[in-house]
Amino acid sequence: AVVSTQSTGTDSFFADLNGVANALDNVDARSYMDRRCVYYKLPLLESGTLGTKGNVQVVLPHITESYSSSQDPPEKTIPMCTLKNFPNAIEHTIQWARDQFEGLFTKTAENNHKFITEPKFLEKQKSGGALMSILEGLRKDLSTERPTDFTDCIRWARLLFEDNFHNTIAQLLYNFPSDQKTSSGALFWSGPKRCPTAIEFDANNSEHLDFIVAAANLRAFNFSIPTNRNRDFIKGHVSKVTVPPFKPRSGVKIAVTEAEAENMNNDDESDSEKASVILEELNAKMDELRSLNIQVADFEKDDDTNFHMDFITACSNARAASYRIAPANKHKTKLIAGKIIPAIATTTAVVAGLVSIEMYKMIQGLKDVEKYKNAFLNLALPFFAFSEPILAPKNKYYDVEWTLWDRYDIKGDITLQELLDIFENEHKLEISMLSQGVCMLYAFFMPADKRRERCGMKISELVELVTKKKLPAHKRALVLEICCNDSEGEDVDTPYINYSLP
């Protein structure tokens, strides 16, 4: 959302600022503001809270590192084999349900939409098992199991319930019976491994019906079919669905360890002949498919009318019942699925006070980094720690030292050749590659004719040619990334170019 409003946060907007104090709620927004502050060379007071934890970071132009210079360690993830086959806590079943939502109503719907609207969608996918999985999903959704009315969505939801909570569990117990023992003689189903029970669907069970109502309505949303909240209507139709009997199959691999799960993911093979048959089948129906209006369900936890949290709660609790795990209500499920940690006014007050102290120092114009303090706290312990802001790391080429705050400022709309000459004559550097965003403007390995053509073009014209977009009217400068060689032909790290437009 912040990036989409760049026409508001223009050069003139930031020129009126003396500094920035952040109060943001996600890493992407923090990183964006950090990049803006580095670009416009503004001091930044970055802070945040997480329950009883809080932090304050002081960012000073040309002196300290920026917010993006360091990152928190990655969050611990639940092992794949635990999620898929051996959950033992409600957090496991909620994450599994969240993944189900993402796979069924977001990612699959995206694939369906892109296949219909983007002719080269499949060419962009990796070959092998991943491509085959996408094709099989497209065939199911757009051909063999495509719904035409809400009753089709009810039938699909009923079969999904059977597959998730009966058939998959029955197969698991076929592979690993309740009295199964390991090679050491210990019971397989022991310790954190809970022996599950296959669930028999009961339309009179309100939790089972909750799943059908939410899943059917989400399916209807994906295919732009009118939704239906009438539980009696849904209950009446779901009871009429014919469910094929399930017979466990021998030879089905089930991962017991994380390593086995990884190997199974990597072992997927592509059947090119089968893929061609599916693609031919789908292409034959393309005229019909173009009339479909596929909608993607992007997860939104705070809308109580969209069935997102209803599905995740019902899906998680059905799986929890199978594994004898205590269920969670919708509120608790929302906290866990949305990774919500309630804000505490005391923590907010402490962080606001610490930010204010550092702001007074900035207003006084203090430049001595030793006068400033980063803060880390946890009121639950209680723990308070203060440290000097970390200095910006220095890089060097020849005898020139530079940090993340430095850049080359080039003014006026010049040709690419003139830019290359400036670096060769003034900085003794040969530009081997030049890019703007994700677009490559110049590279030493380009064909000679293309290099020659581009060298004669103005930089602004070249950017518009490569990006195939007109430069926005509010754009006053371009950020150009460069790769350079020194006089001995060695790669050297250099700052970026701030290219001011006329």
Dist CA 81 CA 260 (whole Å): 8
Dist CA 289 CA 153 (whole Å): 18
CB distance 417 to 429 below 8 Å: no
- Residues contacting 226, CB < 8 A, separation 6+: 150, 220
**Catalytic residue among 81, 153, 195, 484, which?**
81
Which residue from 80, 77, 83, 75 is spatially nearest to 316, judged by alpha carbons?
Answer: 83
Dist CA 286 CA 288 (whole Å): 5
Dist CA 308 CA 350 (whole Å): 36
CA angle 417/421/426 to nearest 5° reads 155
CB distance 497 to 480 below 8 Å: yes
CB distance 21 to 57 below 8 Å: no
Dist CA 75 CA 49 (whole Å): 17
Which residue from 312, 2, 264 is spatially nearest to 133, judged by alpha carbons?
Answer: 264
Q: Which two tokens mark 343?
A: 């804000």
DSSP 85-97: T---SHHHHHHHH
Dist CA 28 CA 5 (whole Å): 14
Judge whether 483 counts as a catalytic residue. Answer: no
Q: Which residues are catalytic?
A: 81
